Amino acid sequence: MENLTLIGLLRKAATEFPNRRALSVSGKFDLTHSKLQELVDHAASLLVAHGVKPGDVVALTFPNTVEYVVMFLAVIRCRATAAPLNSAYTTEEFEFYLSDSESKLLITPQEGIQTAKAAASKLKIPQVIATLPDSNSKITLSSSSESKSNDTDSVAQLTNNPSDVALFLHTSGTTSRPKGVPLTQLNLAFSVLNIISVYKLTESDATVLVLPLFHVHGLLAGLLSSLAAGAAVVLPAAGRFSASTFWSDMLKYNATWYTAVPTIHQIVLDRHLSKPEPVPPKLRFIRSCSASLAPSIMSRLEEAFGAPVLEAYAMTEASHLMCSNPLPETGPHKPGSVGKPVGQEMCIMDANGVIKNNGVSGEVCIRGPNVTTGYKNNPKANDEAFKFGWFHTGDLGFLDSDGYLHLVGRIKELINRGGEKISPIEVDSVLVSHPEIAQAVAFGVPDDKYGEEINCAVIQRDGVELNEADVLSYCKKNLASFKVPKKVFITDSLPKTATGKIQRRIVAEHFLAQISTAKVPKFGA
């Protein structure tokens, strides 16, 4: 296990399943595992020729394209560190992420990402464009010389080490400023093996990737775990999730599962209910992660598509997967839980470092080979997160008698109403169970009497007219009186992270600033 690397796992899969389909771009590309490895090795030789050295950080900003997949793996193959970035960032955001990661090179697609290019130019970071014309070609890099035989040999002689930092990501920043998370080859390989094990992924599986590859969920759970299992991954032709093509792609490529965030599950479900698929694919399971999935949505998904929905719990700092509900043949699914720990130790701890299991709530803490050893250049954050020999997630929860984890909420997001600690997740769940509410988020606001009071923001379903009294009446029937929101904001949008997670902190700040106005403006207005 000490010699385990992600590159080693991918090479092993390519050796065992050379002619099986590895990567497809709907209607355009089909690459086998052996062909993908060939493309990666060639691209790695180009990077070496371009001066990329072990330990260098290389930033990439792409849609979900085959060029991105090849270049991401090529960077890691060079023993450099890949830093994927969201192409929707502003110039100022790119400046922060490029600077914070200390990137030495920026790779972009042919069409370019102007905000990224502007930021890199300002920071004097070299830029190259990666292009793959068709499945019979090789990657070309603009402004780099073609690799020579000795360049290829130099790549072949490079040995990837488990301790190599392969991936540099930032936390989503939903409760604080984003923190830089370095993840090693060992971290990634161990997480990939955990995902393959719990979902029993094999070379017979296939999935359509709906999540962005600059985020750990899509990258680890969707792409890398599939490739390491010898399975197949389909990228949408548009380079991003499309509800109109999702099921046709799933059917065309015989998909057996998919993983998504609750927002996308809701979109898929709503489209199916309004325009049912004649013959949906036969799925082994549907996976949900990155945010809490409302029980009502879970049951509707299972009923609509005839597959178990497995909710999971993950963090960037854990190379994604921490807990998951099991497949039906291996154990029961517990509603309200995020499943059992997968591949690492987990405990519930109080502020003094005392472990509180057997149903007692506290902070969720983990340790294992998939967990980062610390944030980059952030001593204060490291002091808070790494105490008593465990990584402290910042989440509150408890482990039941069967070892299933139940989350209560983020420590920083708990609402303290007159001494009563209220989980906004619980309020969220009740709100989205309302038949006329599409999305909802609860949050705390200052209150003279109670210290904090509960407010919420909701998006109503299309074609309905919802008012504050309707929402409050429903909450009073389904929540204890002290958990009922004092004020309801009805809006048509909510700010989300790139993976669809509602940014509770930003919602709270926005509506707190508007609390005295009669009209609630749109986010970003």
The yes-or-no answer to whether 346-410 and 414-513 have a common fold is no
Which DSSP symbol is given to 481?
Answer: G
Cα distance between the two ends of the chain = 52
Strand 140-141 to 127-131 pairing: antiparallel
Under a CB-based contact definition with an 8 Å cutoff, are residues 366 and 190 in contact? no
3.60.15.10, 1.10.150.120, 2.40.50.100, 3.30.300.30: CATH of 414-513: 3.30.300.30
pLDDT in tens, the chain (525 residues): 568 999 999 999 999 999 999 999 988 889 999 999 999 999 999 999 999 999 999 999 999 999 999 999 999 999 999 999 999 889 998 999 999 999 999 999 998 899 999 999 999 999 999 999 888 889 999 864 444 444 555 777 789 999 999 999 998 655 556 889 999 999 999 999 999 999 999 999 999 999 999 999 999 999 999 999 999 999 999 999 999 899 999 999 999 999 998 889 988 998 888 888 788 789 999 999 988 888 888 999 999 999 999 999 999 999 999 999 999 999 998 888 999 999 999 999 998 999 987 789 999 999 999 999 999 988 888 998 999 999 999 999 999 999 999 998 888 888 888 777 788 888 998 999 999 999 999 999 988 788 889 999 999 998 889 999 999 999 999 998 889 999 999 999 998 877 677 888 889 888 888 765 545 556 554
Q: Is 353 helix (H, G, I), strand (E, B) or coil?
A: coil
Residue 285: strand pairing partners: 257
pLDDT for position 429: 87
pLDDT for position 71: 98
Under a CB-based contact definition with an 8 Å cutoff, are residues 194 and 343 in contact? yes
Whole-angstrom distance, CA of residue 127 vs CA of residue 119: 11
Whole-angstrom distance, CA of residue 513 vs CA of residue 223: 41
Domain 6-329+338-343 has what CATH class? alpha beta
Please tell me the total number of residues recorded for the chain in this structure.
525
The torsion angle over the Cα atoms of residues 176, 182, 186 and 187, rounded to 10 degrees, is 10
Domain 346-410: which topology? Answer: Luciferase; domain 3 (2.30.38)
Which DSSP symbol is given to 221?
Answer: I
**5 exposed, middle or buried (CB, 10 Å; 0-12, 13-18, 19+)?**
buried
Amino acid at 339: G
Domain locations along the chain: 6-329+338-343, 346-410, 414-513
Under a CB-based contact definition with an 8 Å cutoff, are residues 417 and 471 in contact? no
- How many Cβ atoms sit within 10 Å of the Cβ of residue 90? 12
Under a CB-based contact definition with an 8 Å cutoff, are residues 386 and 392 in contact? yes
pLDDT for position 202: 98
- How many Cβ atoms sit within 10 Å of the Cβ of residue 236? 20
Strand 127-131 to 103-108 pairing: parallel
Whole-angstrom distance, CA of residue 374 vs CA of residue 383: 9
pLDDT for position 146: 46
